[in-house]
C-alpha cells in the first residue's frame, strides 16, 4: 500500500460527505487559491488525472483535471489543466454510456469498470468567479464525472456494477489493458458522432 500520499484513502469519512459550495465572494480569496495550488501539486506529484478537494481533506466543492503524458492514463488524450469550482453535471437526455476502467488515488492499486456517459454538460466557476457551461464528450467526460462524483461523496468503487471487473493495477495492465484500448476506439467514435 502507498503511504504518506497526503490523500484521503478509502474508508476516511471525508470521502463520503457531500462537499459544500464555495460562496461566490470567496472564490477569489487567498485561501481558496492556496487550496487549489495544493491540489495541483498533489495531483501532479502522484500522476493523477484529476483530484477533488475532499481528497486532500478540504470539504469544499472544487476539483481539478489535467492529463499531460500521464503514465497511469496512457489511453487519455491531453487535457490541459482545468479548475472547476462548484461544478454540476447535467446529463444530456438519451446519451450513450460506456464502461470505463477507472482507478483512483484514494483507492490505490485498484481498477474497475464504471458506466459513464459519453456526453455531459458541466457548469462551474473559474478562479476568476466566471460562470462557465461546457459540453464535454468522449474520454474527457469520464474524468469529469469521476472527479465530480468525489465531490458528491462517491468513489468509483460505488459505481462498479460488476465486481468481477475489480482488478489490481498490475493485473489490469497484464490482462485487460489491450482489450480496453480496443473498447476505447469504439467509445471515441460514438462520442464523435454525437456532435
Q: Please identify which residue in the block is written with the cell numbers 497511469.
A: 72
For the stretch 141-163, pLDDT in tens is 999 999 999 999 999 999 999 99
**Structure confidence at residue 78 (pLDDT):** 85
Active-site position among 147, 170, 178, 183: 147
Q: Please identify which residue in the block is written with the cell numbers 476502467.
A: 101
Report helix, strand or coil for 120: strand
**Structure confidence at residue 22 (pLDDT):** 98
Report helix, strand or coil for 136: strand
Delimit the domains of the chain by residue range.
13-193
- Concatenated DSSP letters of 59-91: -BSEEEEEESS-TT-TTSPPEEEEEEEEEEEEE
Q: What is the mean pLDDT of the chain?
A: 91
Alpha helices in the chain (DSSP H): 30-45, 139-151, 169-171, 177-193
**Structure confidence at residue 95 (pLDDT):** 78
**Structure confidence at residue 195 (pLDDT):** 53
Q: In the chain, which residues have pLDDT < 70?
A: 1-5, 188-195
**Structure confidence at residue 1 (pLDDT):** 36
Cell readout for 38 is: 495544493
Q: Which CATH architecture has domain 13-193?
A: Alpha-Beta Complex (3.90)
The verdict on whether 147 is a catalytic residue reads yes
Is the pTM for the entire model greater than 0.95?
A: no
**Structure confidence at residue 147 (pLDDT):** 98
Neighbours of 81 (CB within 10 A): 12
Amino acid at each position: 500500500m502507498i503511504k504518506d500520499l497526503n490523500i484521503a484513502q478509502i474508508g476516511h469519512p471525508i470521502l463520503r460527505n457531500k462537499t459544500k459550495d464555495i460562496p461566490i465572494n470567496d472564490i477569489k480569496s487567498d485561501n481558496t487559491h492556496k487550496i487549489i495550488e495544493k491540489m495541483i501539486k498533489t495531483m501532479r506529484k502522484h500522476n493523477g488525472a484529476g483530484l477533488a478537494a475532499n481528497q486532500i481533506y478540504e470539504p469544499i466543492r472544487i476539483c481539478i483535471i489535467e492529463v499531460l503524458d500521464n503514465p497511469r492514463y496512457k489511453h487519455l488524450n491531453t487535457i490541459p489543466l482545468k479548475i472547476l469550482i462548484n461544478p454540476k453535471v447535467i446529463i444530456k437526455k438519451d446519451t450513450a454510456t460506456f464502461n470505463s476502467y477507472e482507478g483512483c488515488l484514494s483507492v490505490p492499486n485498484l481498477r474497475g469498470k464504471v458506466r459513464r456517459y459519453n456526453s455531459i454538460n458541466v457548469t462551474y466557476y473559474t478562479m476568476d468567479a466566471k460562470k462557465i457551461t461546457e459540453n464535454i464528450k468522449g474520454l474527457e467526460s469520464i474524468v469529469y464525472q469521476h472527479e465530480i462524483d468525489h465531490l458528491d461523496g462517491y468513489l468509483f468503487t460505488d459505481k462498479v456494477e460488476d465486481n468481477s471487473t475489480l482488478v489490481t493495477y498490475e493485473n489490469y495492465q497484464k490482462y485487460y489493458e489491450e482489450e480496453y484500448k480496443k473498447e476505447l476506439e469504439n467509445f471515441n467514435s460514438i462520442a464523435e458522432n454525437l456532435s
